Structure 1
């Protein structure tokens, strides 16, 4: 769980409009921060399997939100992935667009 101060900083950095707390960008950024903190915790506490399960659930939720965002707006997805310095995964849609462009 994130502290209120840290959560507010993340929300301020990634919000798309005033009062934004539920956009995919904000949710993904918050999950990324929690994943980072849980990963640090697990480096020290290797046998904490409850936290490991929580980490895997958060990673899965972040993956689903990233997939949703890429379908809604590829540009917003790309900007967010660059900001958060996440690994870029090519989706089927991106590959299709590239093959269509290459054929034209």
Structure 2
């Protein structure tokens, strides 16, 4: 399995407030980014996997909604997570 409990804890510890803080926007965005990267690699090898393609599109939409939420409510946290994860709009 590509996403173990240890990997999740590591992501939340690095980007969230603690490893148990799974609800922060930064932690969720980081988790979505990790999953998006994994699915993108899968789709490069399996071009006709349309179920995975749909899942990828849904994940990108969820991440975009969280990024918009952060941008509207706290621009400094938004800029920090964009810089840290290497995302751009």
TM-score between both structures, scaled by the size of structure 1:
0.79
Runs of 5+ consecutive residues of structure 1 not aligned to the other structure? 90-104
Q: Which residue of 2 aligns with 1:101?
A: none
* TM superposition shift of 1:16: 2.2
Structure 1 runs, 4 residues or longer, greater than 3 Å off? none
Q: Which residue of 1 aligns with 2:56?
A: 55
Q: CA RMSD in A?
A: 1.3
Q: Which residue of 2 aligns with 1:65?
A: 66
Runs of 5+ consecutive residues of structure 2 not aligned to the other structure? none
* TM superposition shift of 1:2: 2.1
* TM superposition shift of 1:8: 1.2
Instruction: Mark the structure with the bigger radius of gyration.
Output: 1
TM-score between both structures, scaled by the size of structure 2:
0.92
The residue matched to 1:75 in structure 2 has which SS? helix
Q: Which residue of 2 aligns with 1:21?
A: 22
